[in-house]
Amino acid sequence: MQLSPSPCGRGIKGEGFLINMCLHHPPGELPPKLVEHPRSLRKNLTLAERKLWRLLRDRRLIKCKFRRQHVVGSYILDFFCSKADLAVEVDGGQHGLPEQAEYDRRRDEFLKVRGVTVLRFWCNEVLNNTNNVMAEIARHLK
C-alpha cells in the first residue's frame, strides 16, 4: 500500500493517508466543508487555544505531535495527538448550555467508540492554571 503525503504538503510520509482514514473518505475526496472550516478555525483561535497551541506545537510536550482543528468523522477536534489517540478540547461558556452539553456528550461517545480519549478544559483553566492543564495532558501521553 502506497501512502500519500500530508494534505498540506508537509509532515512525515503517510500522514495524509492517516487523516483520510480517520475521515472515512477515500484519499483526495474530502468534502470541501471538512477542508475549509478547520482551516478557518486554525486562523481564528481563541486566546486560550492560542496559548495551549504554543505549548503543544512542534512536539514540545513529551515529543508528541499534536494537530490543530483535526477532523475525525464529521467532528473537528481542537487538538489531536494520533500517537496517543488523545483529543484535547478547550471549552468556552457555551459548553455549559444543556443543548451544547448533549452535543458534546454524543461527540465524546462517537470518539470513545473509535478509541479516542477526550480531555476537556475550560478556557479559564487553560489561561489561569496552565501548568495543571499541561500536567493532565502529559499524564495521558505516557
Q: What is the pLDDT of residues 67-77, one digit of tens each?
A: 998 888 888 89
42 three-class SS: helix
Domain 42-141 carries which CATH code?
A: 3.40.960.10
Q: What is the pLDDT of residues 9-51, one digit of tens each?
A: 343 333 333 343 444 444 455 566 555 544 555 556 789 999 9
- 3-class secondary structure for 88-139? EEEECHHHHCHHHHHHHHHHHHHHHHCCCEEEEEEHHHHHHCHHHHHHHHHH
Domain residue spans of the chain? 1-30, 42-141
pTM for the model stands at 0.71
